[in-house]
Structures are given as structure tokens and as C-alpha cells.
Amino acid sequence: MNADIPSQLAQGDKKAFQAIFDQHFHALCGFGYKYLRDTQVIEDLVQDVFVSLWEARTNFEHHMAIKSFLYVSLRNKCLNELKHQVVREKNQEALIYELESEQFFSARVIEEEVFGKLHLEIETLPDSCKQVMLLVLNGLKNREIAEKLSVSENTVKTQKKLGYSKLRQGMGSSFEVLMLAF
């Protein structure tokens, strides 16, 4: 490699950067493959390393410093990727375990039954009360509901109170279970 390459790189010479890229890209990919067995991920990591090289281009006085930077950076990126893979696998295992558990299944069935009953009860409310309660279920605050329905906040509060009262009567203990979910 030309001895002037590090100084040319430091000055932002794109041809010098391309020469470094051409000389080291495939070797770095081979090096990364020893850590990770995913060619696409490795190529992405190598490209990230070259972006880092470009950003730090003024810090290198000789070619060995550049080469060292490339390999150390890639090793660190590969190790970080391996750590992320382990975390992702643990999260997937935990999620699968949770989804397969009988408690998760039972809770979702009960939740769906209660919400189904709630929606049936809401349909029996007077229109203005029904509109307010559906917006409450969507997570809107009193002020937002008032703006959306072009009514006062006091009207919203009154309709909510009426709605909760009628839902409590119609749903019985299911309503109390539902309120614990909120």
C-alpha cells in the first residue's frame, strides 16, 4: 500500500479511502465470519467499520494503525452482535414460555370474554353515553373526549359516571375484574 495513503485519507481523499476499502473489505469479511456465520450481517458490520474509519480518518499516521483500527473495530462489533443475539434468544425463549403457559392462555381467554361482554353492555347505553365510553376505552382523556364530541368536560364526566354505573349493573363482578385491568 502506498505510504501516502494515511495522509491522503486524513485530507479526505476518497480515492485513498477506496484503496483501503478494496484492499481490506474481503479480508475483514473473512475475519468476521470466524465470529458470526451470517454473511449479510458481517458485510453490514464491515461497512459500519469503514464508516467509522472515514469519521476517524484524521487519527492515523501509518497504514498499520488503519489496519489495526479496522480489525479491532470489527471484532468489537462482532462481539456486540453476539451479545445482542444472546439477549434476543433469551427474550424469545421467555416470550415463548409465557405464551405457552396455561396462565397466559387462561388470562387471555378471560380477558377476551370480559371485553366482549363489556362491548355488548356498551351497545345498550344511550348514544351519547356510548360514544363517551367507547372513547374512554380508546384511552382518551376527558378534555380530548370533550373536544372530539364538541361537548363540555362536565358533560363528559356526567356521561362517564352514568356509563360506569350502568355497566356496573349490567356486568356485575365482571366489571370489577375489568376495572382492575385499567
Per-residue pLDDT at 121: 86
CA distance 175 to 180: 9
Given the C-alpha cell 366482549, which residue does it identify?
A: 116
Average of per-residue pLDDT values in the chain = 87
pLDDT-derived band at 177, boundaries 50, 70, 90: low
CA distance 56 to 65: 12
pLDDT, tens only, 46-69: 999 999 999 999 999 899 999 999
DSSP symbol at 59: G
Is residue 131 within 8 A of residue 149, CB to CB? The reply is yes
Per-residue pLDDT at 90: 84
SS3 call for 3: coil
pLDDT, tens only, 102-153: 777 777 777 777 778 888 888 889 999 999 999 988 889 999 999 999 999 9
Among 103, 110, 106, 114, residue whose Cα is nearest residue 178: 114
Q: Which helix (H) or strand (E) holds 7?
A: helix 5-10
pLDDT-derived band at 37, boundaries 50, 70, 90: confident
pTM of the model: 0.53
pLDDT, tens only, 23-33: 999 999 999 99
Is residue 145 within 8 A of residue 138, CB to CB? The reply is no
pLDDT-derived band at 179, boundaries 50, 70, 90: low
Is residue 132 within 8 A of residue 156, CB to CB? The reply is yes
Per-residue pLDDT at 4: 85
Q: Is the pLDDT of residue 78 over 90?
A: yes
CA distance 182 to 179: 5
Set out the domains of the chain in order of their start, with CATH numbers.
5-99 (1.10.1740.10), 102-181 (1.10.10)
Q: Is the pLDDT of residue 36 over 60?
A: yes
Is residue 129 within 8 A of residue 162, CB to CB? The reply is yes
Is residue 7 within 8 A of residue 50, CB to CB? The reply is no
Is residue 61 within 8 A of residue 6, CB to CB? The reply is yes
Per-residue pLDDT at 114: 76
